[in-house]
Chains A and B, each alone.
Chain A
């Protein structure tokens, strides 16, 4: 299933605001991160330290179930304030 992942901060500079990857509906956070890291070797460290949000809620996994309408996001370590 093709899913769109929103990315931010350094990941956005490297990858653009969103990227589309092919993942099974029942997958894992590790597989999602691997699919993103495969796009650009320089993002691997940041991706490893990122959290996943589905529909604007942090998900701990490790297993995740994806639906076509889900809003997926990879959240790098935050630094607001």
Chain B
């Protein structure tokens, strides 16, 4: 069973990793996205995330479904609200029998999340405010 959440609480990696541990899996790939200070010359001070929460969770469930059907396990948690530098914005974890699938599926989930899932960032820089994209 996948575990999908949009939360306003800080993301803790340990308990989410535990959800991916099972005897049938030999590879667990985890991507953790954090708030970065520098984007070239632009200095970010914090990021505010918002979401169309029920649709975001549905889209993530749709992303997880084929992976789960193919024998993997998917854990995705995205944080919303105000995040400081180094805070975790997103946790994507995929467990699979072997590493090739774990890597590929984890990448698919985070790459598709960034393209399709209705979540938005508002970046506060030292000199301006930017909406992501």
Indicate if B74 sits at the interface (CB-CB under 8 A): no
Q: CB distance B115 to A78 under 8 Å?
A: yes
Number of interface residues of A (CB under 8 A): 16
Q: CB distance A78 to B114 under 8 Å?
A: yes
Number of interface residues of B (CB under 8 A): 26
Beta-carbon contacts under 8 Å, B112-133 to A: 113-122, 131-133
Indicate if A77 sits at the interface (CB-CB under 8 A): yes
Q: CB distance B122 to A80 under 8 Å?
A: no
Beta-carbon contacts under 8 Å, B41-71 to A: 49-52, 54-56, 58
Indicate if B89 sits at the interface (CB-CB under 8 A): yes
Q: CB distance B52 to A73 under 8 Å?
A: yes
What per-residue 1/0 map shows which CB atoms of A70-81 lie under 8 Å from chain B? Answer: 000101111111
Q: CB distance B50 to A9 under 8 Å?
A: yes
Chain B residues lying within 8 Å of A73, measured Cβ to Cβ, are 52, 55, 118
Q: CB distance A79 to B90 under 8 Å?
A: no
Indicate if A29 sits at the interface (CB-CB under 8 A): no
Beta-carbon contacts under 8 Å, A41-62 to B: 53, 56, 58
Which 7 A-B residue pairings sit nearest by Cβ, starting from the closest?
Answer: A79-B132, A80-B119, A9-B120, A56-B55, A81-B114, A77-B133, A79-B121
Chain B interfacial positions (CB closer than 8 Å to A): 33, 49-52, 54-56, 58, 78, 89-90, 110, 113-122, 131-133
